[in-house]
Copies of this chain bind each other. A is one copy, B any other.
Amino acid sequence: RRMPLSEEKNGACDGSIYVNNPHLDSMKDDILYHFNLGTSTHDLPAMFGDVKFVCVGGSPWRMRSFTEYIAKELGLSEPNAEFPNICEGTDRYAMYKVGPVLSVSHGMGIPSISIMLHELIKLLYHAHCTDVTVMRIGTSGGIGLKPGTVVVTKQSVDSVFQPRFEQIILGKPVVRSTELDAELAEELLQCGKDLAEFETVIGNTMCTLDFYEGQARLDGAFCSYSEEDKQSYLAEAYAAGVRNIEMESSVFAAMCKLSNLRAAVVCVTLLDRLKGDQMTSSHDILHNYQQRPQVLVGHYIKKKLNAYKKS
């Protein structure tokens, strides 16, 4: 089952999870430090071998609520069942599982999700998982969209609207593709149409290194540009097909592609950045918006599992 893979290569078609690291096989033990799990302390194939869908999102509370939701949708839990946090020994990430669905929080920003994905990919590899689909369900700022619109990412682009992620290795930049699964994105868009509960669109997603200056916000502790500069930057982004802005999609796309994981990014827009920078909607409205990616992805998983049962 273990494959020696010494060079960067992208997805083959046999459904296996790749770790692109020849050193791993010579390690007696692998400690997944930020999950508080390890190959010598946990039976990872028994715990995770049946995982087919992994949903990730920034907030630990949201990932717990997603697990409760999906358990109900799939008819896999008693009412009011409690789901233990599999990473309860650490406060870095939270992880929940119900049936074939694993749910993991990743914090905010590229470095935080990158640590989680390194350990998640190794976990899926050690657990001998196959045919896994990974979906990020998150929040974002929209550009020219009605708040509450769900954006399924076509391409994740950087601050100059290019579909690439730059990884620094030994002090030197290595550029990686941020291509996502186009078929999966179309299937998710179709789920949005099936549901007809909220607007769902496909568009490019800009992934930035921070929330304030990197997203041209005027309300941070520092701001050296004008409202006009902001509007002109967001207009350029819109012209490049960008419909929303968040902080994790580029490294998520790059790492999933390197690991042969089918991947999608599904984010709701909490506001229209052309009209403002602050999150002024009520708590209830924002809470409702945040459930939309969960509902969309939940519908997709249910549809897939039903199709699988029938086949």
List A residues at the B interface (Cβ < 8 Å): 6-8, 19-24, 27, 29-31, 33-34, 58-61, 91-92, 107-112, 114-115, 117-119, 121-122, 125, 159-160, 167-171, 174, 208-214, 216, 218-225, 227, 229-230, 233, 236, 247, 255, 258-259, 278-280
Check if B115 sits within 8 Å of A169, measured CB to CB: no
> Which B residues are in CB contact (< 8 Å) with A24?
219, 223
Q: How far, in angstroms, from A216 to B23 measured CA to CA in the complex?
A: 13
Interface of chain A, main secondary structure: loop
Check if A210 sits within 8 Å of B115, measured CB to CB: yes
Question: Of B60, B214, B222, which contacts A258 at CB under 8 A?
Answer: B222
Instruction: For A234, give the chain B residue with the smallest CB separation.
Output: B170
Rounded to whole Å, the gap between the CB of A173 and the closest CB of chain B is: 9
Rounded to whole Å, the gap between the CB of A264 and the closest CB of chain B is: 19
Known contacts A59-B92, A279-B33; A115 and B222 CB within 8 A of each other: no
> Which B residues are in CB contact (< 8 Å) with A110?
109, 111, 209-210
7 closest Cβ pairs, A-B complex: A109-B111, A121-B221, A21-B223, A23-B218, A20-B222, A114-B210, A159-B171
Question: Of B118, B159, B220, which contacts A168 at CB under 8 A?
Answer: B159
Known contacts A171-B233, A211-B115; A60 and B91 CB within 8 A of each other: yes
Check if A224 sits within 8 Å of B7, measured CB to CB: yes
> Which B residues are in CB contact (< 8 Å) with A225?
169-170
Q: How far, in angstroms, from A112 to B108 measured CA to CA in the complex?
A: 5
> Which B residues are in CB contact (< 8 Å) with A117?
221
Known contacts A107-B107, A108-B112, A111-B112; A31 and B169 CB within 8 A of each other: no
Check if A112 sits within 8 Å of B109, measured CB to CB: yes
Check if A31 sits within 8 Å of B221, measured CB to CB: no
Rounded to whole Å, the gap between the CB of A248 and the closest CB of chain B is: 9
> Which B residues are in CB contact (< 8 Å) with A233?
170-171
Check if A221 sits within 8 Å of B259, measured CB to CB: yes
> Which B residues are in CB contact (< 8 Å) with A168?
159, 208-210, 213-214
Q: List 23 A-B contacts (CB under 8 A).
A: A21-B218, A22-B223, A24-B219, A30-B278, A92-B108, A107-B107, A107-B108, A107-B109, A108-B115, A111-B211, A114-B210, A114-B212, A115-B212, A118-B221, A121-B221, A167-B214, A168-B214, A169-B224, A170-B216, A170-B225, A170-B229, A170-B233, A171-B233
> Which B residues are in CB contact (< 8 Å) with A214?
167-169
Q: How far, in angstroms, from A229 to B171 measured CA to CA in the complex?
A: 11
Instruction: For A222, give the chain B residue with the smallest CB separation.
Output: B20
Q: How far, in angstroms, from A110 to B31 measured CA to CA in the complex?
A: 24
